[in-house]
């Protein structure tokens, strides 16, 4: 025995969940890796294959992640998969003299490799309950920068019950929003005044009044409108809510405003308090740019203030769009539901934004179902009673695309038109009425052409845009 080395570190400390490929005993520990791939010194340090067990199965309470893995030249899929599991749990680049049997039980395990898809199970003990930044720092952290992977994408996650129930989830969700908006059945409608930036406070609020008066439910700020000099937040909020109240009295319908409070966290708290004091029901937050820690704080703040959170996903495509790198929009949607937003943009499948029909439908199921199927695998997510979000469909929509959109996504959604309202030849009021008339026609099972015969506003809109997609 080497001097100073205890029997503990000479034991075969392999995880009971793993079956090694080739084993050699070093003076310090058991090393596992194919001999052909190792140099003389490497045989004494690397142990990544100890994190691969293709005969293993996840425990009931494990978090399970699906990765798409592209190994770098010179690395096999098992080499890369072992590194992903190791570096996202208890492993590192070398064998350790400090690894006890207790810690070994916390090893993540790559247990299934099918083509370029790898399933990794993580013991629940690795994660802090109710802490999304910590969880994502584990399963979507340093593993993305390892030299052994030329590409790595977190495709999907199955969250164990204990972690799901450690998060607050939506405060209102789809059912609660429908209750306070008094819209029990039809799709809700929303719009951003256009141009999306540059309008003064007076112009912005007046456009909101026009749209509300035409039948719009929700006025919405653009994701990059916050507190600029041409449109200060406080003045915009005060005037817009006055116009909101005026539109409610005139139409007899409930109206609301998705006002963007995105800022440094303490400033978001101040803005949310102002919205509450002015009688607002919603705040909007750019959740990707503010971050998960800020969102967790604002979920608590908005819970105290009884404000629903409309989540905008600006910045997401920087890491969700590549099919071989980053994190999928599906995982982002799941995390948003767990942390507790009430509405989330999911795309359109037929508008100007990139996403297939299948992807958008899968996102709807992720945020809206009691259970949601996995993406390309057989594991299902049970939400254990967590409220469903209200999906928001937006991006290049107009009334000519409404029917196929609702055929794809159903009616328990928010339909958001920007240019499709403000590009109407007769203005925003007419654009909003055209949208409401088309929705009513869809629910009444009339054709769009039949609706246009009864609605001059819809007829004018269809003459301009037809049923084409504009990219």
pLDDT tens for each residue of 70-87: 999 999 999 999 999 999
Give the residue ranges of DSSP H helices in 145-253: 161-164, 173-181, 201-213, 233-251
Nearest Cα neighbor of 274 from 311, 315, 295, 302 is: 302
Do the domains 173-465 and 7-164 match in fold?
A: no
* pTM of this structure: 0.89
- Rounded CA-CA distance 30/390 in Å is 52
Class of domain 7-164: alpha beta
The series of mean pLDDT values per 10 residues for the chain, 471 residues long, is 31 36 34 44 75 96 97 97 96 91 96 97 98 98 95 97 98 98 97 96 98 98 98 98 98 98 98 98 98 98 98 94 95 98 93 82 93 81 97 94 96 96 98 98 97 98 93 77
The active-site residue, picked from 33, 49, 194, 207, is 194
Cα separations in angstroms, 102 against 9, 83, 147? 13, 21, 29
Among residues 134, 218, 230, 172, the alpha carbon closest in space to that of 421 is found at: 218
State yes or no: is 368 an active-site residue.
no
pLDDT reported for residue 33: 41
Question: Quick check: is 310 catalytic?
Answer: no
Listed by start position, the domains of the chain span 7-164, 173-465
DSSP H helix total and E strand total for the chain:
18, 17
Cα 460 from Cα 456, distance rounded (Å): 6
Note the pLDDT of residue 9.
25
**Residue 128 CB contacts under 8 Å (≥ 6 apart), including other chains:** 134, 135
Interhelix angle 428-443/456-465, nearest 10 degrees: 100
Q: Angle at CA 143, nearest 5°, toward 81 and 121?
A: 50
Q: What pLDDT, on a 0 to 100 scale, did the predictor assign at position 304?
A: 98
For residue 409, the model assigns a pLDDT of 95
C-alpha span between 330 and 359 (Å, rounded): 8
> What's the pLDDT score for residue 378?
73
> Residue 44: its pLDDT value, please?
64
CATH 3.40.47.10 fits 173-465, yes or no: no
Q: Which helix (H) or strand (E) holds 139?
A: helix 132-139
Beta carbons of 33 and 3 less than 8 angstroms apart: no
Q: Would you call 371 helix, strand, or coil by DSSP?
A: strand
Look at residues 190, 79, 59 and name the one whose alpha carbon lies nearest to residue 123: 59
CA-nearest of 312, 295, 321, 324 to 414 is 312
Per annotation, catalytic residue among 312, 345, 368, 387: 312
Rg (CA), the chain: 26
pLDDT value of position 164: 98
């Amino acid at each position: 025995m080497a001097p100073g080395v205890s029997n503990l570190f000479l034991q075969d400390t392999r995880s009971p969940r793993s079956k090694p490929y080739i084993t050699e005993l070093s003076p310090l520990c058991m090393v596992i890796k194919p001999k052909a791939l190792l140099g003389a010194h490497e045989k004494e340090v690397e142990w990544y294959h100890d994190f691969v067990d293709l005969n293993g199965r996840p425990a009931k309470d494990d978090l399970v992640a699906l990765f798409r893995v592209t190994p770098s030249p010179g690395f096999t899929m098992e080499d890369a998969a072992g590194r992903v599991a190791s570096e996202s749990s208890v492993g590192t680049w070398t064998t350790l003299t400090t690894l006890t049997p207790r810690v070994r039980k916390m090893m993540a395990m790559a247990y299934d490799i099918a083509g370029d898809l790898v399933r990794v199970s993580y013991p629940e003990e690795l994660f802090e309950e109710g802490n999304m930044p910590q969880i994502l720092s584990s399963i979507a952290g340093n593993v993305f920068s390892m030299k052994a992977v030329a590409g790595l994408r977190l495709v999907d996650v199955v969250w164990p019950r204990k972690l799901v129930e450690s998060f607050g989830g939506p405060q209102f969700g789809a059912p609660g929003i429908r209750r306070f908006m008094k819209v029990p059945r039809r799709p809700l409608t929303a719009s951003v005044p256009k141009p999306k930036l540059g309008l003064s406070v007076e112009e912005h609020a007046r456009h909101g009044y026009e749209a509300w008066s035409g039948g719009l439910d929700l006025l919405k700020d653009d994701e990059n409108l916050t507190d600029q000099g041409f449109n200060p937040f406080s003045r915009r909020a005060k005037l817009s809510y006055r116009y909101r109240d005026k539109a409610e009295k005139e139409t007899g319908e409930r109206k609301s405003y998705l006002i963007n409070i995105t800022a440094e966290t303490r400033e978001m708290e101040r803005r949310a308090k102002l919205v509450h004091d002015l009688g607002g029901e919603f705040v909007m937050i750019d959740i990707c740019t503010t971050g998960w820690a800020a969102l967790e704080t604002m979920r608590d703040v908005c819970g105290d203030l009884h404000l629903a959170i409309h989540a905008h996903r600006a910045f997401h495509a920087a890491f969700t769009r590549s099919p071989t790198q980053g994190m999928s929009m599906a995982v982002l949607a799941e995390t948003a539901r767990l942390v507790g937003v009430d509405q989330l943009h999911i795309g359109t499948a037929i508008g100007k934004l990139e996403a297939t029909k299948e992807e958008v439908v899968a996102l709807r199921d992720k945020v809206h179902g009691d259970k949601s199927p996995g993406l390309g695998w057989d594991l299902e997510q049970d939400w254990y009673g967590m409220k469903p979000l209200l999906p928001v469909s937006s991006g290049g929509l107009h009334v000519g695309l409404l029917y196929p959109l609702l055929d794809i996504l159903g009616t328990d959604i928010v339909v958001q038109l920007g240019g499709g309202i403000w590009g109407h030849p007769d203005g925003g009021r007419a654009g909003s009425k055209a949208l409401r008339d088309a929705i009513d026609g869809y629910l009444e099972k009339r054709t769009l052409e039949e609706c246009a015969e009864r609605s001059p506003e819809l007829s004018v809109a269809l003459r301009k845009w037809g049923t084409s997609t504009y990219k």
